[in-house]
Structure 1
């Protein structure tokens, strides 16, 4: 499934550069590399197993994605975070995801519906673990939260839209990983309702719920007080 891009094990036929890119990107999105941390290629090569020139190319690519900032001759840093940036990402996610969701509901077939059900089932199991007190599942929850939302829009058949949404979603998810907390039954209930509305092909209600869902997630992260102004 698409959310496996978060995984950091080598894939068949993958180059050293490809693996280093995925691992470094995942470490930023997952919050292992903190905002504003310096990223020096000569120091990163030991951790990511790629040459200095390859790592410079990877860092430039991540800068284009908004996950890294280039500082001219001073090198690179992990992108900063701010409350304004999170609000902007939430608005952009809503714009892209509601557009994709409407198209997906209109064009999705039975196989797509089955994928939505399967993705939600996996997510619901992890949410049950979290509500039972297993806080170690938060990182898995973020990955499978992506898996579910991606499944709901996977039938939109707009590749550029999907790629842009994936990039924005990851930058939005980074804030949740830095807070590393779970919102509880409320978010699980919204996921169940979204699944049902998608399967019922009620695009208006599904998109309205999605807007509330994203905004609630943003408000929750902001309320922790961990995101600087």
Structure 2
């Protein structure tokens, strides 16, 4: 959020970068859609030159595709990418989990308890039919998974996992439906195993959780 006069162009660019990235992940900018520079310039209130730089940055995460002289478009959704992201997420998250379970302290445990409390509250509302809580749930879902692996002591691993998590999340947002009780049960099991530091059981939950998500997305028909 821009708060002070005289903030740098870099700060403005960072805000717009997050906005465009979030619009892609949430599906506001759908897969395969053209990003027309003049329209995007007006929409995000930024000049064309930094806008080009932002879109180029997003190509490094495979969220945007550069079309040479034609401009940019949102990366298409595909079954192949979905499966690749699922496999990569499992590898990264289970590795980070192993490291975190070894190094985690009492503060780490407290962060997991707090994150799960917020997530469980959002899930209860979703199960009760309050679909307006979906965006809130998305944020709390990541905060919970992040809390569990946060003690891995690797900024690079956390940043890479965050990027993969978001790209995988884009497919869930495109499927436009909450998976319901099985997700809640997975999160509760993961919470219990984390506090018990049972790495093998927790990793098994992660694998089931991610692969069930893939099956749900494929059943929705958003990718062939």
TM-score, normalised to structure 1, is 0.93
RMSD: 1.2
Question: How many angstroms apart in 2 are the aligned matches of 1:182 and 1:27?
Answer: 19
**Alignment-derived partner of residue 94 in structure 2:** 98
- Aligned with 2:200 (options 200, 204, 210): 204
Per the alignment, residue 168 of structure 1 pairs with 164
> Could you say which residue in structure 2 is the equivalent of 1:138?
134
Cα shift at 1:149:
0.4
Deviation of residue 85 (structure 1)? 1.0
Q: Partners of 1:160 and 1:120 in 2: how far apart?
A: 24
Instruction: Please tell me whether the aligned partners of residues 16 and 49 of structure 1 are also in contact (alpha carbons under 8 angstroms).
Output: no
Provide, for residues 77-116 of structure 1, a one-character-per-residue CA deviation record: whole Å limited to 9, x for no partner: 0000011111110000000000001100110110010000
Distance in 1 (CA, whole Å) between partners of 2:172 and 2:137 is: 10
Q: Aligned with 1:147: secondary structure?
A: helix
Deviation per CA, 1:42-94, whole angstroms, max 9, x where unpaired? 22111111110000000000001110001111110000001111111000000
Aligned partner of 2:36 in structure 1 is 40
User: In structure 2, what is the equivalent of residue 186 of structure 1?
Assistant: 182
SS at match of 1:69: strand
TM-score by length of 2: 0.95
CA distance, structure 2, for counterparts of residue 184 and residue 117 of structure 1? 21
Q: Deviations over 1:1-49 (max 9, x none)?
A: xxxxxxxx44776721111111111100111100011112222111111
Q: Which residue of 1 aligns with 2:60?
A: 64
Partner SS for 2:65:
strand
SS at match of 1:77: strand
Query: Which ranges in structure 2 are unaligned for 5 or more consecutive residues?
Result: none
Q: Deviations over 1:107-133 (max 9, x none)?
A: 011001000010011010110001001
Q: 1:11/1:202 Cα in 2 relative to 1: closer, same or farther (>3 Å)? A: farther
8 Å Cα contact 1:69/1:79 also seen in 2: yes
